[in-house]
Amino acid sequence: MSAHDSNSFDPTPEDRFSFGLWTVGNPGRDPFGPSVRPTMDPNHIVRQLAAIGAWGVNLHDNDLIPFDASASERDRIVKEFKATVADTGMTVPMCTTNLFSHPIFKDGAFTANDPKVRAFALQKTMTAIDLGAELGAKIYVFWGGREGSEADACRDPRAAWQRMREAMDFLCGYVKDRDYGMKFALEAKPNEPRGDIYLPTTGHMLHFISTLEHEDMVGVNPEVAHEVMAGLSFAHNVAQALACDKLFHIDLNGQKIGRYDQDLRFGSEDQKGAFLLVRLLEGTLGGKPYDGPRHFDAHAYRTEDEAGVWEFAKGCMRTYKILAQRAAAFDADAEVKQLIAEQEDRELDPLLSGGYTVQKAAALKGLDVDVDAVASRGLGYERLDQLLVEYLLGVRS
């Protein structure tokens, strides 16, 4: 059952809603002030997420295991966490590596100029992949938060690209060698914390993947805020990833254009963009729906206490389900279907699809198009968009 099948907006495990330990566990620190909330124990987070109807919990290695933990501490922490995940019926769909907090990564990880940093990044990632496999994760995300520059003369950008390729090919080899059955999902961001981040959008990542040795096991993890920061349509970028079967994961949140990475509650900004995204993911407009986790990579406002954090998390899931129900109703509306059907004149399909033939070229060259009649035709988009707005505002159902 998908998110739009029921009129209830209460999350169920079938919705596959997930949160990272770092999201609901965000203590409210920002560049201009310290934490405002106590640090939450990962096991408490898992229990709370299960209680509000989430399905999955994701993590960076150091969200669970302190950077300097001993092997015995690591084993104790993992054992307790696995027990909590099992006891609550939760799952760990995705894991990732923190390659951005420790000062050793101040000039990047896989793209850093210092080969000792690059070697340490590979070591840390292999260890974190081992943890992910132990927790049952089948998706491994790479967000290159520090893979970038301010003083651009510091390295040939082509060297950064090549180093990233070598790292991805090596780590794909590691996962295949260990037979972990994992897929990699690459997450783009245009800037912050670096002045510019390499591979800044999902489109760049999709091309980059095509250059890899094991491109079949590598896809993308687009994040709403990151593509909006670049001034792009998130739904269009997700659609391209879906169309080439590379949408392996997704980071849902809210973002105001022209701001730093806000990672706001899903649907709290740009409700129309969120509606069009959910419509695409749920497949109510047709086409294959997205079948992966709905991950909220977002955090509560700094103004909130712990109760506010759980309101934030419930709001992410509830808004997703409301938008899913609105999208299903919109695409079932007879007038909407009629307006869309009018755009789908299939008469020339035999000439326009299926590739080139000499016959098609001759037929297209001989086609008599009444240019003025076609140019003067009204397309009905004003009515179509008004209907969308009325579904969004809840005055049409």
Residue 282 touches ligand DIG, criterion: CB under 6 A: no
Segment (H or E) for 203: helix 202-209
Residue 147 touches ligand DIG, criterion: CB under 6 A: no
Residue 140 touches ligand DIG, criterion: CB under 6 A: no
CA neighbours within 13 Å on the CB side: how many for 43?
Answer: 11
Q: Is 231 helix (H, G, I), strand (E, B) or coil?
A: coil
Among 147, 297, 331, 333, binds ligand DIG (CB under 6 A): 297
Decide which of ligand DIG, Mn ion, none touches 95; Cβ closer than 5 to 8 Å per partner kind.
Answer: none
Q: Specify whether 4 is catalytic.
A: no
Q: How open is the CA angle 82-74-140, to the nearest 5 degrees?
A: 65
Cβ contacts of 309-313, under 8 Å, gap ≥ 24: 309/24, 309/26, 309/37, 310/24, 310/48, 310/52, 312/24, 312/265, 313/19, 313/23, 313/24, 313/49, 313/52, 313/54
Judge contact between 20 and 59, C-beta under 8 A: yes
Decide which of ligand DIG, Mn ion, none touches 331; Cβ closer than 5 to 8 Å per partner kind.
Answer: none
Catalytic position from the list 15, 61, 63, 297: 63
Judge contact between 186 and 199, C-beta under 8 A: yes
User: Within 3-22, which residues bind ligand DIG (CB under 6 A)?
Assistant: 20, 22
Decide which of Mn ion, ligand DIG, none touches 141; Cβ closer than 5 to 8 Å per partner kind.
Answer: ligand DIG
Q: What are phi and psi of 345, to 5 degrees?
A: -75, 110
Which residues of the chain form contacts with Mn ion (CB under 5 A)? Answer: 223, 225, 251, 261, 263, 297
Rounded to a whole number of angstroms, the minimum distance from the CB of residue 272 to ligand DIG is 23
Catalytic position from the list 60, 226, 295, 299: 60
Rounded to a whole number of angstroms, the minimum distance from the CB of residue 64 to ligand DIG is 14
Q: Per-residue DSSP letters for 106-173?
A: BTBSTT-SSHHHHHHHHHHHHHHHHHHHHHT--EEEEE-TT-EESSGGGS-HHHHHHHHHHHHHHHHH
Query: Residue 40 carries which DSSP code?
Result: P
Residue 121 touches ligand DIG, criterion: CB under 6 A: no
Residue number, 96 or 268, with CB nearest to ligand DIG = 96
Residue number, 105 or 143, with CB nearest to ligand DIG = 143
Q: Specify whether 63 is catalytic.
A: yes
Tokens 């996962």 identify what position? 175
What is the distance between the alpha carbons of residues 241 and 64, in angstroms, rounded to a whole number?
30
Decide which of ligand DIG, Mn ion, none touches 269; Cβ closer than 5 to 8 Å per partner kind.
Answer: none
Decide which of ligand DIG, Mn ion, none touches 131; Cβ closer than 5 to 8 Å per partner kind.
Answer: none
End-to-end CA distance of the chain: 21
Count of residues of this chain found to bind ligand DIG when the rule CB under 6 A is applied: 9
User: Within 233-272, which residues bind ligand DIG (CB under 6 A)?
Assistant: 251
Q: Which active-site residues does the annotation give?
A: 60, 63
- Residues of the shown chain interacting with ligand DIG in the complex, contacts defined by CB under 6 A: 20, 22, 96, 141, 143, 187, 223, 251, 297
